[in-house]
Amino acid sequence: KAGVTQTPRYLIKTRGQQVTLSCSPISGHRSVSWYQQTPGQGLQFLFEYFSETQRNKGNFPGRFSGRQFSNSRSEMNVSTLELGDSALYLCASSLTGATNEKLFFGSGTQLSVL
């Protein structure tokens, strides 16, 4: 079956703009989580969604937001982009988000803010 699909693969934006990233989980998976990966900070948890509800949120400013649709697809939005938002944004899915489930990661969206 198809893996976790993230689009677009690459994005270049300028400071002050906003961006929307998309994630399609593995079919049947209802939990989607997002992570930011940077060389300095490594992987940091952004938020997790299940059945269109945000269940958990990491320590990021309100400029970072997300949502999940009824088909479990998820989007994350970053408004008023800053240079420091340049990162690889990873999406992961699992069946229900239980801690003993395997997470499947997408290849990520590489965001560059100029």
Partner 1 sequence: AQSVSQHNHHVILSEAASLELGCNYSYGGTVNLFWYVQYPGQHLQLLLKYFSGDPLVKGIKGFEAEFIKSKFSFNLRKPSVQWSDTAEYFCAVISNSGYSTLTFGKGTMLLVSP
Binding residues for partner 1, rule: CB under 8 A, are 3-4, 31, 33, 35, 41-45, 48, 50, 55-56, 58, 90, 92, 94, 97-103, 105-108
Based on CB atoms, which residue is closest to partner 1, 70 or 100? 100
Q: Shortest gap between Cβ of 22 and partner 1 (angstroms)?
A: 16
Of 24, 42, 28, 27, the residue nearest 92 (C-alpha): 24
Q: What is the DSSP annotation of 71-112? A: TS-EEEEE-S--GGG-EEEEEEEESS--TTSPPEE---EEEE
Q: Shortest gap between Cβ of 12 and partner 1 (angstroms)?
A: 19
Q: Shortest gap between Cβ of 76 and partner 1 (angstroms)?
A: 15
